Amino acid sequence: MSQLTTVDATFLHAETDTTHAHIAGLGLVDAGKCPGGRLTVPLVAELVRERAHLAARPLRQRLVQVPFGLDNPYWEDDPDFEPERHISEIGLPAPGTARQLADIVGMLHEQPLDLARPLWELVLIQGLQGGLTAVYVKVHHAAVDGVMAAETLAALLDLSPEPREVPADESAPAVAPSMIDMVGTGLLRAALHPVRSAVSLVRTAPYLDEIPGLGAVPGVSLVASALQGALRRPGSPKPPRTSAPPTPFNLPIGRRRSVAFGELPLAQIKEVRRALGGSVNDVVMAVCATALRQWLDKRGDLPDRPLVAAVPVSLRRGAAVAEPGNQLSLMTAPLATHIPDPADRYAAVRHDMDVAKRRFTRSSGAWVRDMSGVLPAPLTAAVTKLALQAAPALSLRPVNLMISNVPGPQFPLYLRGAKVLGYYPISVVTDVSGGLNITVFSYDGKVNIGIVACRDLVPDPSEIVDHLVDALDELKALSRE
């Protein structure tokens, strides 16, 4: 038996008419090696039935709500679980181009998950050029974070075309507490909540300037520094005081989504890192800065100050690797889109990321967990939805966009004998985080790029993918000078 954490519940409460808090991925597989030469719903359903218990969040579990919303929901095994109810198949019309695939994935990503069932679905997309099959997998962010999503995917995949032997699940079905027990626990936690909330606020106060949007408020940085001194904590590097400028993708988002996919050679990114210094993530951020600069400049919308990027960071270290629930935080950093010279732009990105990482190390990124638990459970859902709805009306822009870098295996994986040729992540856009999200996933020597955007604001994000390719070429040329 397990329960949603306050961070998990925040993703659940973030669901609105225009925001769906699920994350997804698109795998391209060579299905000719599958039994019968084709990847089918029965074949995948059999795989899920055999391995559901191996997933980081067991795929058969559903949510059970606590009466009156007194507490966060619990997980339990769905007694009616049938993998076939979560798996479907569609076909692309000829010629089955990448653009057609992106359009259909955008439509799939617009659809919310049924919160009364286990929070995932899988769609087989047939008819792609080259005889490939695409596998679109969607999971609610309340169930998994990026690392858990990768682990869940790994549970269904193999290291060779020959499927491995999986031991049968002999554990007893997980059952949620009785309604009386849930109400009793909820009332007890509500009574103790003021104390827990006060402790969370005290822990967070010295790092207020790390919370997106607050760092740009006059006086907040001084207050945070003073509190660090009063608590005798070593001072963190002072962040540059910057606010997110207006851009075309920082307007109110709609219901429709556009997506695009691409890839960059990991070896070339490492070549740039060795020549120019920094980390692989610094190179990824610099490539994104250049691509966004080109995209904005082409439209006459390039701000004269840096964009502000939110960068998700996994907190899974040591024992936390196996812990359930979302173990993540955010750090924010300027993105030097305003600097015209490529060398100066790379140096600025590297410096800003270094400052952001050193500050994050000081606070351990705990503000996300602490702030998500400040309000009692019965109020959290209403306040979260109100904040998301109020953000566009009040022109609140804590950040311009999210950029996420998820490390993956550097060897090929197989799905029922079919080689996975690429895996492209698709994340979340909101009015608070911006109508554009760039997520990259390294796999088998490539950095796979997944971009999702509000279709009303960014109708064709494939243009940004093209700019990312050009941006890496620019850095490669710079590194060879």
Q: Choose, from 22, 109, 141, 467, the residue flagged as catalytic.
A: 141
In this structure, the number of other CB atoms found within 10 A of the CB of residue 282 comes to 22
C-alpha–C-alpha distance, residues 422 and 413, integer Å:
10
Phi, psi values for residue 311, rounded to 5°:
-120, 110
Strand order in the sheet with 22-30: 87-91, 120-126, 133-140, 22-30, 418-426, 414-415
Closest CA to 336 of 321, 322, 348, 351: 348
Establish whether 141 is a catalytic residue.
yes
Contact predicate 144/58, CB 8 Å: no
- The CA distance from 214 to 212, in Å, is 6
Q: Which residue, chain included where needed, has tokens 């590097």?
A: 237
Task: Return the structure tokens found at 4.
Answer: 């949603």
Residue with tokens 């936390």: 320
Q: How many C-alpha atoms does 266 have within 13 Å on its Cβ side?
A: 16
Rounded to whole angstroms, the Cα distance separating 82 from 117 reads 10
231 is written with which tokens?
């608590």
Helix/strand/coil for 91: strand
Beta strands in 52-211 (DSSP E): 61-64, 74-77, 87-91, 120-126, 133-140
* Residue 94: Cβ within 10 Å count: 9
**Cα–Cα distances in Å, from 44 out to 47, 91, 424, 448, 464?**
5, 16, 19, 24, 33
d(CA 90, CA 79): 28
Q: Which residues contact 184 (CB under 8 A, 6 or more apart)?
A: none
The residues carrying an active-site annotation are 141
